[in-house]
Chain A
């Protein structure tokens, strides 16, 4: 295994408040990693900082050996790090295809033909509603579209912020099944989740954030059985 992303001493502030306090972690190429923790632990803040949407107050981020700490969001996307944001950020007045086309913004839709086929194969409901307005999709379908749109950007590392949020259990299973399939295709994933149990079952490696600090880390399945995790998140 080789390290794809190395985060060292990452600190992110909101004004005077330190939301993320000098955390370290490494993502291995081809793996699914999960960043879990309670509400307000600093998970989404970490993802936003990795994507360049929040300024980093300290620390260093290296992607495949390159220092990307100070890069702008569009430069980070150009390196192959693409995020599926919390709340999906679907453009509801555009059609499903237009949303997917936006995902292929850097390459153009013609150069992303294979990706489009793969996305529609992975998420059949999107194929049926390709020319319909994205605003008319259900919550689950919108999440599929958000993931599909990110895949259209030909990512090498996919960051997902709460993909299960607000979705029915069956739909969550479907989304997680799709994430596993995406990972089998060779894509590295970093999953931020409040759904600790599901996330750690899916991930090869897990990190637990508490109050902006890295509290625990280890293989996903091992973390599930950790006494501290059982006590804090899994109902003892």
Chain B
């Protein structure tokens, strides 16, 4: 199969992998800060609908639609973040899940704008392969810089022990808010790019299932580094396609593979600490 043929068949899959990578990176930010926030699918939906409506109803240029698709979820994240960020663990997960449902039902009911359950049809396909690639590279670069900075150290500290982080002078609330809002912005960007790629969006694409899928990508890949979420996104996107030959058993085998990975590699596939253990022989480690 030459390159043109490959792209004709798998082009959409590769671009979906790119937007999924953005989504996995968006949830990595909050996980890196020790927060189990699962509103990323909702933020993706807000970004997707904002950008698509601007393009379709206002004839806005693609760049403006993309920018709005980033800013709108970030603004909403600021508003819901103020009360929600105080929560932690399972309570934060429940609150963000509930927010996701509110967003989905809102889109469903704002029929005159969003098309309700029928979705939005005929979104111009403006997203090019290089838009997705550029977005992934820029987000990766930005997160890499954040990780190496004082903010990254603050995230590590908050994830390790919030009280200890506070006592060392970390402004825990502000840092958590930054992670939450930046995560929402990245998820919104993924949604905006995706909307202009798939021609059609509907509220069901941004519900509970998608939220869990995004979380699975990051956890499966590993949250110990930036490579993890990318790897996880790759596996979750490609695995169902790779198993297509199994016909009806495809989803079952897909699930079994995921369960096995989580069981045997609890820190995710990309675990720098495990790689270090492999590289340093046991005797040397004890010396």
Contact = CB atoms under 8 A, between A and B. Distances in A.
A90 B164 CA distance: 7
Nearest to B273: A93
Which of the listed residues B157, B163, B168, B170 has the most CB atoms from chain A within 10 Å of its own CB?
B168
Chain B interface secondary structure, helix, strand, loop or mixed? helix
A53 B160 contact: no
A52 B168 CA distance: 12
A53 B173 CA distance: 12
Contacts of A85: 163-164, 167
Contacts of B153: 101-102, 105
Contacts of A90: 161, 164
A74 B150 contact: no
B168 A102 contact: yes
B161 A89 contact: yes
Contact of A74 (B161, B164, B166): B166
Contacts of A102: 153, 156-157, 164-165, 168
A82 B166 CA distance: 10
Contacts of B165: 102
A108 interface: yes
A223 interface: no
Contacts of B157: 91, 102, 105
Given A89-B161, A91-B160, A94-B160, A82 B154 contact: no
Interface in A141-171: 149-150, 153
Given A77-B168, A78-B169, A106-B169, A93 B160 contact: yes
Contacts of A82: 167-169
A139 interface: no
B241 interface: no
B160 A153 contact: no
Nearest to A73: B166
A37 interface: no
A78 B161 CA distance: 19
Contacts of B156: 91, 94, 98, 102
A235 B28 CA distance: 55
A91 B167 contact: no
B168 A108 contact: no
A72 B167 contact: no
A103 interface: yes
Contacts of B111: none
A51 interface: yes
A106 B165 CA distance: 11
A89 B273 CA distance: 21
Nearest to A74: B171
30 contacts: A51-B167, A53-B163, A73-B169, A73-B172, A74-B172, A77-B167, A77-B168, A83-B167, A85-B164, A89-B164, A89-B167, A91-B156, A91-B164, A93-B160, A94-B160, A101-B153, A102-B153, A102-B157, A102-B168, A103-B168, A105-B153, A105-B157, A105-B168, A105-B169, A105-B170, A106-B168, A106-B169, A149-B168, A150-B167, A153-B169
Given A105-B150, A105-B168, A153-B169, 4 more contacts: A85-B167, A89-B163, A91-B160, A153-B168
